[in-house]
């Protein structure tokens, strides 16, 4: 106990006697000093005495489509930490193949009396889905925020990356390296982020090479699944069409694109350049390290929590979309277009 008091006192910059008074709930300690001692407990990994633990301000649900894509755990971690700092307890609910649906997870969270819900890449991002479920949720008085996928039909705040700008960054980078035959591999067309990426890609390619949207979509865009295998299939089809560079809608797809190149006897980036999307953990250490578009996960996660807490506090944000700018991270999977494969136009 003495050693623990000494550690806490050193961490907080106070005397052991002061630490003892705080731990025993005795008066005569300034609020700021008391907070320093409690913070030292947290930093050192000691559990606070039960009477000193901050009471939970309530549960907040976080619904994600899956956890296999590293971007979803990363976003969940940011959101969870931000909620905990504000005294809320995050409840992670994840959809799995053959498991609970988004509607079932929502019902479960509402039944448990959550103070609000954050939806990440949910049915709100699917242009074919019925958005009436969100209006029903609002009618129940449950505040919610939607991440990734704007819908004008849903009266709620949205948090999104600028997918159009992301494609401009990727295409501009590749054209600066001399690539003209650039392909885009992404997920099913019905999703809003996919549609926005197509808009950004076709607009930038059209400006650079005077191509029409229909021509670009038919020749240089392939839809698949947001998986390594999906990226491999889409990239293989694009390479068959002579693409010297492939932009992928996720880092997992980009790793599949690298596999597709190697299966064709091509080297990345010597023969084919590959750009990912998200900047997931560990892609800086792949072979080669992946050039990617960094999704602003910390800013988006913190904004989602801040917006939801405003909703919970009775000062809801208007029906609006908060859009965050992505960033190009250049690593080893992109290089100049091989002279023998370069063309004057796509």
- Residue 43: which CATH number? 1.10.260.40
Q: Provide the 8-state DSSP code for 49.
A: P
pLDDT of residue 344: 46
Following CA atoms 278, 282, 285, 288 in sequence, which dihedral angle do they give, to the nearest 10 degrees?
-40
- Same domain membership, residue 93 and residue 40: no
149 within some domain: yes
307 within some domain: yes
**Burial of 112 (C-beta count, 10 Å sphere; 0-12/13-18/19+):** exposed
88 within some domain: yes
Residue 240 CA to residue 243 CA, distance in Å, equals: 7
**Burial of 318 (C-beta count, 10 Å sphere; 0-12/13-18/19+):** exposed
- Same domain membership, residue 135 and residue 258: no
- Same domain membership, residue 76 and residue 149: yes
| Total-model pTM | 0.82
pLDDT of residue 117: 96
Domain boundary among 280, 295, 310: 295
Residue 210 CA to residue 144 CA, distance in Å, equals: 43
Q: CA of 81: how far to CAs of 72, 76, 210, 274, 308, in Å?
A: 14, 8, 47, 33, 14
Predicted confidence (pLDDT) per residue in 289-344, tens digit: 999 999 999 999 999 999 999 988 888 777 789 999 999 999 999 999 988 766 54
- Same domain membership, residue 276 and residue 249: yes
The pLDDT confidence band at residue 52, using thresholds 50, 70 and 90, is low
- Same domain membership, residue 189 and residue 150: no
Residue 100 CA to residue 93 CA, distance in Å, equals: 9
- Same domain membership, residue 181 and residue 152: no
Q: Provide the 8-state DSSP code for 47.
A: P
330 within some domain: no
Alpha helices in 177-324 (DSSP H): 192-209, 213-220, 228-240, 251-263, 297-312
- Same domain membership, residue 143 and residue 66: yes
pLDDT of residue 138: 87
**Domain span at residue 83?**
58-161+296-324
- Same domain membership, residue 287 and residue 174: yes
Percent of the chain scored above 90 by pLDDT? 73
The total number of structural domains in the chain stands at 3
The pLDDT confidence band at residue 183, using thresholds 50, 70 and 90, is very high
Domain boundary among 52, 70, 88: 52
**Burial of 344 (C-beta count, 10 Å sphere; 0-12/13-18/19+):** exposed
Following CA atoms 107, 111, 113, 117 in sequence, which dihedral angle do they give, to the nearest 10 degrees?
-10
- Same domain membership, residue 96 and residue 76: yes
- Same domain membership, residue 290 and residue 171: yes
- Same domain membership, residue 108 and residue 17: no
346 within some domain: no
Task: Please say whether the beta carbons of 191 and 201 come within 8 A.
Answer: no
337 within some domain: no
Q: What is the mean pLDDT of the chain?
A: 91
pLDDT at 346 over 70: no
Residues in a beta bridge with 247: 184, 275
What's 101's domain CATH number?
3.40.50.2300
213 within some domain: yes
- Same domain membership, residue 300 and residue 220: no
340 within some domain: no
Predicted confidence (pLDDT) per residue in 225-273, tens digit: 999 999 999 999 999 999 999 999 999 999 999 999 999 999 999 999 9
């Amino acid at each position: 106990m003495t050693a623990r008091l000494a550690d806490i006192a050193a961490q907080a910059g106070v005397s052991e006697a002061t630490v003892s008074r705080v731990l025993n709930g005795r008066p005569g300690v300034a609020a700021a000093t008391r907070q320093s001692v409690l913070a030292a407990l947290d930093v050192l990994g000691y559990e606070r005495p039960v009477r000193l633990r901050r009471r939970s301000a309530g549960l907040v649900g976080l619904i994600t489509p899956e956890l296999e894509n590293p971007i979803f755990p990363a976003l969940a971690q940011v959101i969870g930490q931000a909620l905990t700092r504000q005294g809320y307890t995050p409840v992670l609910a994840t959809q799995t193949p053959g498991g609970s649906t988004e509607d079932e997870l929502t019902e479960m969270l509402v039944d448990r009396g959550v103070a609000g819900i954050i939806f990440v890449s949910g049915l709100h991002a699917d242009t074919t889905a019925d958005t009436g479920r969100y209006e029903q949720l609002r009618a129940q008085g449950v505040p919610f925020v939607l991440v990734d996928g704007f819908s004008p039909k849903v009266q709620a705040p949205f948090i999104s990356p600028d997918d159009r700008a992301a494609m401009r960054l990727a295409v501009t980078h590749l054209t600066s390296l001399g690539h003209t035959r650039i392909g885009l591999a992404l997920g099913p067309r019905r999703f809003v982020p996919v549609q926005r990426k197509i808009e950004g890609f076709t607009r930038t390619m059209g400006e650079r090479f005077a191509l029409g949207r229909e021509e670009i979509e038919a020749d240089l865009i392939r839809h698949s699944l947001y998986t390594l295998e999906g990226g491999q299939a889409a990239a293989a089809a694009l390479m068959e069409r002579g693409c010297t560079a492939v932009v992928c809608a996720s880092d997992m797809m980009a790793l599949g694109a690298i596999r597709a190149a190697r299966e064709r006897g091509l080297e990345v980036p010597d023969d084919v350049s590959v750009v990912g999307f998200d900047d997931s953990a560990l892609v800086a250490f792949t072979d080669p390290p992946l050039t990617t578009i960094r999704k602003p996960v910390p800013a988006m996660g913190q904004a989602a929590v801040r917006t939801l807490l405003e909703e919970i506090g009775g000062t809801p944000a208007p029906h609006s979309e908060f859009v965050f700018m992505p960033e190009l991270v250049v690593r080893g999977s992109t290089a100049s277009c091989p002279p023998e494969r370069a063309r004057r136009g796509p």
